[in-house]
Amino acid sequence: MPAHECNLLHEWLRSTARERPHAPAIEEDGRITTFDQLHGQAEALALQFIAHGLRPGDRVALLLPKTTGAVVAVFASLLAGAAYVPIHPRWPQERVQAVLRDCAARLLIEEENGARRITDLETGALLPDPLPGGDPEPWPLLDPAATAVLLFTSGSTGVPKGVVLSHRAVAAFVRWTAAEFHIGSSDRIACPAPLGFDLSTFDLFNMALAGATAVLVPENIAWMPRFLARFVREARIACWYSVPSILIAMLEEGRFAESAYPDLRLILFAGEVFAPPALARLMAAVPDAQCANLYGPTETNVVTWFPVSRAFKQDDPLPIGRPCPYAETVVDPASGELLAGGASLMDGYWNRPEETARAFTVVDGHRYYRTGDCVSVAPDGNFLFHGRLDRQIKRRGFRIELGEIEAALLLHPQVIEAAAVAANHPAAGTRIVAFVRLRASHDLALAEIRAHCARLLAPYMLPDRFIFTDILVKGNRGKIDYAALSRAAEGNVGGD
């Protein structure tokens, strides 16, 4: 069956491997893995999972950087009927353990000295390396509504929460991008997003569906703008999808505009606001590339998009566009909040029925996710983004609940009050400032509070500046006055 007629993500890989076995599926540091090799390795690993007792619906945690081995593990998990749970290896150990406990993963896959290590988390036993060959009777049969991936995001309670995405939800987005942007077997797609970031579903599964080549971005240059710009040119990248801050850094620090990129035909960006002056510079640097602004939280993947015209000027507003064909949108008339529904919608938060219930609403019999984003509709019908209705922010494309930072600070025995706010730095963009009140007559070294946060929070969540204070400004109801603190933070956005 052709890949486009299949309904499960791993079936796309199986079909493409049969049709184009010797075509390049993955390129990593110049090493090619063909579709036949990728599928064969994934199938052997899946057989090992099944033989060990992995059941459809189980979870496989991937504590891995984005390597060829990690991609094999993703498809092996799906082939075995399980859901994969990506965990970044640079997360603090406390956060890693919290995710493992929450998702109740059956297996954990890690890298140890360059070798794969698979642990059965129920027994603590290590699984041996898989042997090629064999065929279960039969392979697990799944419905497209089966869970494909759990993506853990920042949680306001201080504990990460898992977004449950089905095969159907991921497929809706990927099928649309393949058709809308004409992704084909000749395309070389850059893979800059970590596995735990929803942007990664674009490169992984367009590779499987369209037979494109996924070119892995070396982890050691992920935030080195000059090397990234060189990578795009020398790796002959055709399709790039990332957060705007990476593209801006390549423009500002990576001398991106000084070179030509004849292979680059498509630039997609999502996850944060792209300043129009910077976008105008990008389009001038790559005049032949199509650019598009994609919008949507992890819970919905992409729900609206805006193709950026060649006539775009730096003084023009940048809309988040109109709904994708598989998406439904409604604007709450009272608050201006964008409500998002449709085929790419998450099933809910893992093991959090109350939070799931609060996250959704029903309008005219249809289920919608409350995005928390305030929008308006421009005269041409495009949505314009006006910011958050709550205290969630995005930095470098990562969603951050400021409440999670506060919860981590309050776990220090000498901290009795804490408030985290976002402030804008003219050069560095969004910065996080943490106000901290200590117990009476106690002192706390800056290095100690930084180390405390580093043990509990992902690196992208760490505050840029700490301000120790005797009083946190309160409002009339005795609650912390975040607006006042935000104003104070604007003058304190430099790093400590």
Question: Phi then psi for 83, rounded to 5 degrees?
Answer: -105, 140
CA-closest candidate to residue 416, choices 438, 431, 395, 434: 438
Same fold, 3-222 and 400-489: no
pLDDT in tens, 184-215: 999 999 999 999 999 999 999 999 999 999 99
Q: pTM for this one?
A: 0.87
Query: Helices 276-285 and 244-252 sit at what angle, rounded to 10 degrees?
Result: 70
Cβ–Cβ under 8 Å, residues 476 and 484: no
How many CB atoms within 10 Å of residue 265? 17
pLDDT of residue 492: 67
Indicate the CATH number for domain 3-222: 3.40.50.12780
Q: Which residues pair with 60 in a beta bridge?
A: 84, 107
**CA 400 from chain center: how many Å?**
12
Task: Give how far Cα 270 sits from Cα of 273, 384, 387, 409, Å.
Answer: 8, 14, 15, 30
Task: Give how far Cα 108 sits from Cα of 93, 117, 130, 202, 364, Å.
Answer: 14, 8, 15, 24, 43
- pLDDT(299) > 80: yes
Q: Average pLDDT, whole number, for the chain?
A: 91
**CA 186 from chain center: how many Å?**
26
Cβ–Cβ under 8 Å, residues 398 and 408: no
pLDDT in tens, 123-180: 999 998 776 666 666 788 899 999 999 999 876 566 789 999 999 999 999 999 999 9
Task: Give how far Cα 184 sits from Cα of 175, 209, 452, Å.
Answer: 12, 9, 47
Percent of the chain with pLDDT over 90: 71
- pLDDT(343) > 70: yes
3-state secondary structure the chain: CCHHHCCCHHHHHHHHHHHCCCCEEEEECCEEEEHHHHHHHHHHHHHHHHHCCCCCCCEEEEECCCCHHHHHHHHHHHHCCCEEEEECCCCCHHHHHHHHHHHCCCEEEEEECCEEEEEECCCCCECCCCCCCCCCCCCCCCCCCCEEEEEEECCCCCCCEEEEEEHHHHHHHHHHHHHHCCCCCCCEEEECCCCCCCCHHHHHHHHHHHCCEEEECCHHHCCCHHHHHHHHHHCCCCEEEECHHHHHHHHHCCCHHHCCCCCCCEEEECCCCCCHHHHHHHHHHCCCCEEEEEECCCCCCCCEEEEECCCCCCCCCCCCEEECCCEEEEECCCCCEEEEEECCCCCEECCCHHHHHHHEEEECCEEEEEEEEEEEECCCCCEEEEEECCCEEEECCEEEEHHHHHHHHCCCCCEEEEEEEEEEECCCEEEEEEEEEECCCCCCCHHHHHHHHHHHCCHHHCCCEEEECCCCCECCCCCECHHHHHHHHCCCCCCC
What whole-number distance in Å separates Cα of residue 194 and Cα of residue 223?
A: 12
CA-closest candidate to residue 361, choices 392, 336, 338: 338
Q: Which residues contact 122 (CB under 8 A, 6 or more apart)?
A: 106
- pLDDT(426) > 70: no
pLDDT in tens, 372-411: 999 999 999 999 998 888 888 888 788 888 988 998 898 8
Positive or negative, the CA dihedral 461, 221, 211, 74 is negative
- pLDDT(480) > 90: no
Among 71-80, 82-91, 127-136, 378-387, the least confident range: 127-136
Q: How many residues does the chain have?
A: 496
pLDDT in tens, 346-382: 999 999 999 999 999 999 999 999 999 999 999 999 9
Judge: domain 400-489, CATH 3.30.1660.40.
no
Q: Which residues contact 471 (CB under 8 A, 6 or more apart)?
A: 437
Please classify residue 493 by burial: count the beta carbons closer than 10 Å to its beta carbon, then call 0-12 exposed, 13-18 middle and 19+ buried. buried
Buried b or exposed e, range 408-430, using 16+ CB within 10 angstroms: bbeebeebebbbbbbbeeeeebb
Among 248-262, 289-303, 404-418, 473-487, the least confident range: 473-487
Please classify residue 97 by burial: count the beta carbons closer than 10 Å to its beta carbon, then call 0-12 exposed, 13-18 middle and 19+ buried. exposed
pLDDT of residue 136: 66
Domain boundaries, the chain: 3-222, 322-388, 400-489
Judge: domain 322-388, CATH 2.30.38.10.
yes
Please classify residue 484 by burial: count the beta carbons closer than 10 Å to its beta carbon, then call 0-12 exposed, 13-18 middle and 19+ buried. middle
